[in-house]
């Protein structure tokens, strides 16, 4: 296809999307897309910049979940956008077979290992591929290094969320019927234990235990924050009983909690054997994820043992490298610390005046607003907040997850606090 024809087709595609009405957009989605998600709004988002979404109607909405922390840097960060434009203009290959050397993958891998302190990176696509790869690596280690003869066991925490592939779907609690029902039987070798309970870990460990996999803060589970020292103690238990520790930081990573990774709040002794990363490692521009580990551990993955066509491809690696550069340039950790401390104080002050708010939990820029169970549930308040211009999404019925873009300005955050005040107290806060 010649360039002129390509330009004409490109313009037509963009114009076709821009000219769809909201009703037409929703009708297309409902007719042609699997209904594994429900639409919170029927007003299509047509523009996103920073912390704000603009709908087809012209309404502006504050993205108070930052696309589940995929947009820690906000939407459309200029450094990543300009890097992507330059990449496309260079005519570099967007995808290659991994049997071919790619300079972008080399640069991305060097950057991510330098920033995290791990020696080796296994690239993947969406976030769930991190836990899946970590489970495979832990099982191979159990067979080849620990010497497990039967089925290696992976311990996982109650109320966790590691994605929705078949392996980890069994980890949903029984009450989450939409997520679990009809998908069994489950893969063997997994054992549920209470979260934040070291005695339960001790009791569950046996000779076949390969690893424990936990989120340093449970996001989907309701912003559940463990006791100080829990993560560090898990590492100590792993060393004592000879099992690996996997921290899933797909959501809590990249400055969300006020450190580059949540485990770092407990010092270097809390470093896991395997770290799962994703979401904001791409700045929200593409599905980029993976796991990090020592070179010795990662060498258990030989050629042919694990792979992905698009995991670590040139365009993903270029985007990832740019996003990591932006995280450093924006001093995102410092922003999360300073804004998070201020915002937590404001949310606690709001809770004191709001009868329906039972508790506010948080670390960095990751907050859970738990409601009292004596009235409408969290989804009701999500709809009220959206109507007034902010997305703060409910999870586990009685918790509102508030994880705004870390780059959101104080003025933006004050505006959202005013919306929360109006919804929960009944009148806007004074400016």
Q: Would 316 be classed as within a structural domain?
A: yes
The residue segments making up the domain with residue 277 are 82-329
Residues 204-232: pLDDT tens digits? Answer: 999 999 999 999 999 999 999 999 999 99
The model's confidence at residue 431, banded by pLDDT at 50, 70 and 90, is: very low
Q: Would 300 be classed as within a structural domain?
A: yes
Residue 428 pLDDT greater than 90, yes or no: no
Q: Would 1 be classed as within a structural domain?
A: no
Is the domain of 65 the same as that of 116? no
Distance of alpha carbon 177 from alpha carbon 329, whole angstroms: 43
Residues 86-125: pLDDT tens digits? Answer: 999 999 999 999 999 999 999 999 999 999 999 999 999 9
Is the domain of 168 the same as that of 297? yes
Is the domain of 288 the same as that of 172? yes
Is the domain of 146 the same as that of 271? yes
Phi, psi angles (nearest 5°) of residue 96? -140, 155
Is the domain of 284 the same as that of 234? yes
Q: Is this prediction's pTM over 0.75?
A: yes
- Give residues with Cβ within 8 angstroms of 20, minimum separation 6: 28, 44, 56
Is the domain of 350 the same as that of 272? no
Is the domain of 275 the same as that of 359? no
Nearest to 368 by CA among 410, 334, 396, 349: 396
Q: Would 186 be classed as within a structural domain?
A: yes
Is the domain of 232 the same as that of 154? yes
Q: Would 7 be classed as within a structural domain?
A: no
Q: Tell me the CATH number at 215.
A: 3.40.640.10
Contact 355, 250 (CB under 8 A): no
Looking at 329, 358, 389, the residue that finishes a domain is: 329
- Give residues with Cβ within 8 angstroms of 155, minimum separation 6: 190, 191, 193, 201, 204, 205, 209, 211, 212, 213
Helix axes 378-388, 410-424, angle to 10 degrees: 120
Q: Would 26 be classed as within a structural domain?
A: no
Looking at 276, 308, 329, the residue that finishes a domain is: 329
Is the domain of 306 the same as that of 400? no
Residues 368-422: pLDDT tens digits? Answer: 999 999 999 999 999 999 999 999 999 999 999 999 999 999 999 999 999 999 9
Is the domain of 400 the same as that of 275? no
Q: Would 213 be classed as within a structural domain?
A: yes
Looking at residue 175, what is its pLDDT?
A: 84
Is the domain of 320 the same as that of 350? no
Contact 137, 211 (CB under 8 A): no
Is the domain of 152 the same as that of 174? yes
Looking at 296, 329, 362, the residue that finishes a domain is: 329
Contact 171, 184 (CB under 8 A): no
Active site residues per annotation: 161, 248, 279
Q: Would 3 be classed as within a structural domain?
A: no
Q: How many domains does the chain have?
A: 2
């Amino acid at each position: 296809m010649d360039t002129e024809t390509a330009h004409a087709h490109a313009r037509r595609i963009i114009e076709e999307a821009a000219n769809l009405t909201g009703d037409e957009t929703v009708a297309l989605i409902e007719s042609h897309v699997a209904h594994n998600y429900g639409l919170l709004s029927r007003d299509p988002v047509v523009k996103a910049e920073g912390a704000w979404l603009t709908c087809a109607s012209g309404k502006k909405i504050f993205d108070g979940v930052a696309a589940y922390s995929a947009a820690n840097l906000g939407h459309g960060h200029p450094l990543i956008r300009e890097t992507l434009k330059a990449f496309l203009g260079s005519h570099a290959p967007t995808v290659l077979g991994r049997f071919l050397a790619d300079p972008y993958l080399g640069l991305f891998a060097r950057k991510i290992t330098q920033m995290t302190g791990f020696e080796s990176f296994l690239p993947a696509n969406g976030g769930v591929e991190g836990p899946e790869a970590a489970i495979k690596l832990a099982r191979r280690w159990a067979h080849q290094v620990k010497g497990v003869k039967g089925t290696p066991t992976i311990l996982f925490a109650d109320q966790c969320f590691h994605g929705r592939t078949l392996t980890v779907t069994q980890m949903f609690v029984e009450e989450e019927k939409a997520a679990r029902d009809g998908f069994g039987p489950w893969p063997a070798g997994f054992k549920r234990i209470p979260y934040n309970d070291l005695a339960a870990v001790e009791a569950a460990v046996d000779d076949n235990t390969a690893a424990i996999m936990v989120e340093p803060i449970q996001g989907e589970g309701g912003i559940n924050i463990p006791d100080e020292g829990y993560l560090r103690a898990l590492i100590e238990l792993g060393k004592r009983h000879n099992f690996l520790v996997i921290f899933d930081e797909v959501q809590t990573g990249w400055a969300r909690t006020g450190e580059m990774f949540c485990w770092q709040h407990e010092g270097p002794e809390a470093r896991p054997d395997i770290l799962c990363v994703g979401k904001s490692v791409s700045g929200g521009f593409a599905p980029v994820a993976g796991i990090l580990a020592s070179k010795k551990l990662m060498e258990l993955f030989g050629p042919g043992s694990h792979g992905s066509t698009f995991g670590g491809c040139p365009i993903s690696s270029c985007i990832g490298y740019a996003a990591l550069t932006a995280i450093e340039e924006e001093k995102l950790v410092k922003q999360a610390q300073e804004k998070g401390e201020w915002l937590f104080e404001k949310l606690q002050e709001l809770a004191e005046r709001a009868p329906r708010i039972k508790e506010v939990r948080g670390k960095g820029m990751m907050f859970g607003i738990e409601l009292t169970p004596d009235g409408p549930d969290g989804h009701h308040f999500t709809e009220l907040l959206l109507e007034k211009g902010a997305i703060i999404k409910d999870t586990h019925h009685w918790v509102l997850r508030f994880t705004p873009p870390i780059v959101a300005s104080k003025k933006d955050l004050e505006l959202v606090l005013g919306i929360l005040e109006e919804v929960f107290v009944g009148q806007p806060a004074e400016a």
